[in-house]
Structure 1
Amino acid sequence: MQAGHLRGYVEFRERGLDYSRTVMGSWDVPGRCDIRAMTYVINAHLRRHATYHSWFEYNEAKHIVRHTIKDPRDIQFVAKEYGVMTQLEWRDHVLATPDPLQWDCFRFGIIQDEHRFALYAVVDHLHCDPMLIAGFYAEILMNYSALREGKAPIALPPAASYDDFCMRESQCVSGMTLESPEVRKWIEFAGANGGTLPDFPLPLGDQSIPCGGGVHVRRLLGPEQTAQFEVICQQAGVRFSGGLFACVALTQYELSGAETYYGLTPIDMRKSPADFMTVGWFTGVVPFTVPVDPNSFEETARAAQASFDANMDLANVPYDRVLELAPWLRRPGPQFTMMNYMDAGLPPLSAIVASALNGVNAALLTDGRNPAFIYSTVFRLFDEVSIMVSYPNNPIARESARRYTEAMKSVLHRVVAGSLTEVRVRVAS
């Protein structure tokens, strides 16, 4: 994942495009910030997690060279006061966070108001996945609160080794061949998509023109509808995620007429409690194939669940490794799409929800740069279901994101109402 991210950054830079690359979060905290205490806990965080102890060089031969800091105690982030900023000045300041070929491609900051302050973190995706938001809250703000109350820092359980995770993945894929079952499944999946990964079903405009990135958010189901949808999934013998993927497949059928849906979804590869206390990019991608029955949510959902479950082990094999073994396949193009599902009622995201319910205002932010692909995330949060689509910020893609979410909402509502037989193909000319 890290190597693909670095290559993506360099490729976008060579095309004159600004690569979307950061994970950003913020939290409101009452009172005035004790800068000394906050500096202590941020440095403790950076020294604790091994991913921050590496940086990478992309040389002229297009090889990635990894460098490491031998002694984490050599890391010393210091506070710098910038004074009053306008909103645009703050935005420019955040976007100036160094790129992933610099060691310090992360920033932490404070915005102080009269009675509260906002703590924000900007970390290049190179070093983390979105679980950073949960871990950062628990580690930084809980320790900061303890110090402010005159207590000793919280004794956290040891973090796992992100290095060990990377080595395990490397050892696993290095032994793969064209005869490995996981590789054969990936090749079959890519072959069904013209020798690459699946595309978004609607037009996205000319992505060679720099336009930045946009985000479209839409609520799909309210609390009562969410509860009804879960019951329908259980009655069909599938999990909530399987029912959701079925609705995604039905949405694509309605928009394009495709009778088979080829999906990709990221999953968290953390296994142990220590892994969940560790900052890093613990992500794998699962491909799955869904034959669509346009008149039966249940049949489509069972097919989606069965394919997803059968292909879980493919998350251990990055597609980049498959490309090395099968050079006739291609890297995905700018229409490439992926669908993520995040249930905030499950740990560790449930910790964020619990804190929000206790009055902590937390936010996940986007950097507005050019997205590498069309990325959709369905959130189950506060007993509601919403979707966020990240797209290239041009009029064609913006309208396609709107159409896509509207169609998906319509499919979900018809499933809940028991009227899925109303699904019809509506392909735009």
Structure 2
Amino acid sequence: MLQIPFTEARIAPGTVLSWSLRTQHSPLSGEEDQAVAFTSASFNQDKHHSSSQATRSTSDGIASSITVTFEIDGPLDIAALESAFLLLVRRHEVLRCEFQRLAGDLNCTALSPESISLEAEEVGHFHTAEELHTHLDKEFKSLDTLSWPLFLMGAVVRESSTTVYLCFDHIVCDGMSMPVVVNEIQTAYTAFTGGRRPELPPVASYLTFGDAQRRRWSSLRPDDDRLAYWKGFIASNGGFFPRFPFDIGVPDDRLYPLVNRSHRLLDAGRTDALAAGARAAGGSVFTGVLAAAATAQRRLGGPAVYRGLLPVSERSEPVWEHSVGWFVNTMPIEFEVAEGGEERVGDHAATMAGVRAAYTEMQRHVGVPFVRAWELLAPEAFSLHHWPFAVNFFSYIDFRRAPGGERHPLWNPTLHVWAARGNGVSHWFHRTAEGLYVNTLHVETPEAQEISDALNDALVGVLREIGDRRGGAASPVPIPRPSRSRDGRLSGIRE
């Protein structure tokens, strides 16, 4: 599965079909009905929803979505695809929810599986890829966190192939839910076309997860020992959020339009070499990439101690592996960066060892929800509807290990993350069968683009150095530096 901006998606024209959810019961009717279940929303959902509400009438409206597309080969069996869509919605309770804020708390209203049906519509035939892209882009951006339903589904149908699409508001899913969705629909579609009942793994409801999380952590107080890890990080960092260590040309208190870009950092062969080099140093691709990202920052004038935020999967129990939901916590991490200047190879193994030790320690405290820690330990910033400034953010996923990952080369799934506005830089690193990639969202300023380009170039050099260490010491790879202004200052570096 490749994560790229939707602007880079290449979908052949065809006839667009869409499916809309229909219910026998209104989620907002307030009527007593056994088809309706109520639970508390998760902390992630609550913050996302409150931010959307608060910024609805402002120029800094909060909106984000996650879209997945994939291919079905051969003439489409429309009835089978519709049955697969319906099964997806009935299996995952979070997709049948609407959110309401009652007495300050965000609650979920979930309809029963039996009350849900689908209504198909032929939207029309699109003769060019450009017309199709314009239509789909407009549809995807029409999703509203405050309206039901919270996702769209459809297909672009051609004589011998079909592109299936689903677009979700972030409140109902995370990035790892997308391979789950692809695997489930492809498996169910194949079964339905053969007249068989789909055999799918058991799933648990994200609503159960979120409700249990709220019950466990709502009583947490600032003096609780379980916040010791966060407090230690705050003490060394000088605040709750780790600042992105370069100037990107925006004031802290404003949101800007975002540029969405993707790059292939290494091809499959180079990525295998990276894996071998990281293993030789006692690490893994994850520790190698994080160490390389920190080293690239250091080479461009960044700090000798890397401090950043990591999204961490909360799918540790098998029951959540095939579930759709927002199973992501966010945790801080810090470690020393052994590599200094570009004139020497340095000790990448030492940095990777620091990453391993820091990650192991972080995992001991991963249960504390990020939003709850933010509320308790940085209350002055919690009233904001976004992070207070550009934050150092790193994410890594190996999509080959996701459900159905071995069949991704056949299905050609692509993931598209979109956000309307922001004030920083976010990096999503991911590995596929074709290599190592990064999807970057950054503010639309010359400074942000310049430092983003420089970091990508530096990162590729460090990753190759780690891969080349399989046979011993590597030769330094020349790293392009950001340009200097007339007064000699390095453009893009936070002084």
Shared fold (TM-score greater than 0.5)?
Answer: yes
Tell me, yes or no, if structure 1 residue 94 matches structure 2 residue 140. yes
Instruction: For residue 49 of structure 1, report the CA deviation from its aligned partner.
Output: 0.9
The DSSP-based 3-state class of the residue aligned with 1:82 is strand
CA contact (8 A) 1:55 1:68 kept: yes
Q: Are the structure 2 counterparts of residues 128 and 232 from structure 1 closer, same or farther at C-alpha, using a change threshold of 3 Å?
A: same
The reply on whether 1:428 has 2:490 as its aligned counterpart is yes
1:193 is matched with: 237
Deviation, structure 1 residue 74: 1.6
Distance in 2 (CA, whole Å) between partners of 1:373 and 1:287 is 17
| Alpha-carbon shift at residue 103 of structure 1 (Å) | 2.3
Q: 2:255·2:422 contact (CA, 8 Å) conserved in 1?
A: no
Deviation of residue 286 (structure 1)?
2.8
Letter in 1 for 2:211: M
The whole-number CA distance in structure 2 between the counterparts of 1:408 and 1:20 is 30
Q: Partners in 2 of 1:424 and 1:30 — Cα distance?
A: 43
2:217 pairs with 1:173: yes
State the shift of 1:214 in Å: 2.0
State the alpha-carbon separation in 2 of the partners of residues 421 and 28 from structure 1: 39
Aligned to 2:453, which of 379, 397, 402? 402
Contact 1:110/1:120 (CA < 8 Å) preserved in 2?
Answer: yes
Q: How does 1:260-339 map to 2 (within 5 A)?
A: 260-294=305-339, 295-327=346-378, 330-331=381-382, 332-339=387-394
- Can you list the C-alpha shifts for 1:200-255, whole angstroms capped at 9, x where unaligned? 23333337777533222222233343233223322322232222221121122122
**Greater Cα offset, 257-266 or 162-171:** 162-171
Q: Deviations over 1:89-114 (max 9, x none)?
A: 332122223x1111201000111123
What code does the residue aligned with 2:377 have? A
The one of 413, 433, 436 aligned to 1:382: 433
- Contact 1:172 1:316 survives alignment (8 Å): no
**Could you tell me which residue of structure 2 aligns to residue 41 of structure 1?**
84
What is the CA–CA distance in structure 2 between the aligned matches of 1:340 and 1:423, rounded to whole Å?
Answer: 23
Equivalence for 1:341: 396
Which of residues 93, 115, 123 is equivalent to 2:168?
Answer: 123
* Pairing of 1:23-34 with structure 2 (within 5 A): 23-34=66-77
| Corresponding residue for residue 250 of structure 2 | 206
Q: CA deviation at 1:20?
A: 4.3
Residue in structure 1 matched with residue 282 of structure 2 by the alignment: 237
Task: Report if aligned partners of 1:25, 1:362 keep a CA contact under 8 Å in 2.
Answer: yes
Length-normalised TM-score, structure 1: 0.88
Q: Secondary structure of the residue that 1:40 maps to in structure 2?
A: helix
The question of whether the paired residues in 2 share the 8 Å contact of 1:31 and 1:115 is answered with yes
TM-aligned CA deviation for residue 340 of structure 1? 0.7
Which residue does the alignment assign to 1:76? Answer: 117
Contact 1:344 1:381 in 2 (8 A): yes
Aligned partner of 1:8 in structure 2 is 51
8 Å contact 2:70–2:412 — kept in the other structure?
Answer: yes
* Seq. identity, %: 23
Whole-Å Cα distance in 2 between the matches of residues 398 and 424 of structure 1?
14
Q: Distance in 2 between matches of 1:93 and 1:131?
A: 22
In structure 2, how many angstroms separate the alpha carbons of the residues matched to 1:90 and 1:234?
Answer: 43
Equivalent residue for 1:50? 93
How far, CA to CA, are the matches of 1:172 and 1:368 in structure 2?
Answer: 30
Instruction: Say if 1:287 and 1:308, in contact at 8 Å, map to a contact too.
Output: no
1:70 Cα deviation from its structure 2 partner: 4.4
**For 1:373-406, what per-residue CA distance to the aligned partner results, in whole angstroms no more than 9, with x for missing partners?**
5221111222622222112234332233222211
- Cα separation, partners in 2 of 1:371 and 1:328, compared to 1, 3 Å: closer
Of stretches 224-233 and 281-290 in structure 1, the one that deviates more from structure 2 is 224-233
**What is the one-letter code of the residue matched to 2:425?**
I
Q: Tell me which amino acid in the other structure corresponds to 1:91.
A: D
Shift of 1:164: 2.4
Shift of 1:278: 1.0
Partner SS state of residue 245, structure 2:
coil
Give the structure 2 partner of residue 361 of structure 1.
Answer: 412
State how 1:154-169 maps to structure 2 within 5 Å: 154-169=198-213
Task: Mark the runs of 5 or more structure 2 residues left unpaired by the alignment.
Answer: 1-43, 340-345, 469-473, 483-488
CA distance 1:425–1:186, change in 2 (3 Å): farther
TM-score, normalising length: structure 2? 0.77
Deviations 1:127-150 (A, max 9, x none): 11112221112221221222222x
Cα pair 1:24 1:366 within 8 Å, conserved: yes
**Greater alpha carbon shift after TM alignment, 383-392 vs 9-18:** 9-18
* 2:276 is the alignment partner of 1:225: no
What SS does structure 2 have at the residue aligned with 1:378?
strand
Structure 1 residues 302 and 11 mapped into 2: Cα distance closer, same or farther (>3 Å)? farther
Indicate if the aligned counterparts of 1:288 and 1:307 stay in contact, CA closer than 8 A.
yes
Closer/same/farther in 2, CA of residues 32 and 17 from structure 1, 3 Å limit: farther
> CA distance change for structure 1 residues 71 and 110 in 2, over 3 Å: closer, same or farther?
same
Structure 1 pair 116–398 and aligned structure 2 pair: CA distance change class (3 A)? same
Q: Which amino acid aligns with 1:377?
A: W
Stretch deviating more after TM superposition (361-370 or 100-109): 361-370
2: CA distance between counterparts of 1:328 and 1:105?
30
How far apart, CA to CA, are the structure 2 residues paired with 1:213 and 1:355? Answer: 32
Q: Which runs of 5+ in 1 are unaligned?
A: none
C-alpha distance in 2 between matches for 1:200 and 1:356: 34
8 A Cα contact 1:178 1:184, kept in partner: no
Query: In structure 2, what is the Cα distance between the partners aligned to 1:394 and 1:249?
Result: 23
How far, CA to CA, are the matches of 1:35 and 1:227 in structure 2? 40
Instruction: Give the Cα separation in 2 of the matches to 1:333 and 1:305.
Output: 29
Q: CA deviation at 1:411?
A: 2.2
Judge conservation of contact 1:24–1:121 (CA < 8 Å) in 2: yes
- Give me the whole-angstrom Cα distance separating, in 2, the residues matched to 1:209 and 1:334: 8
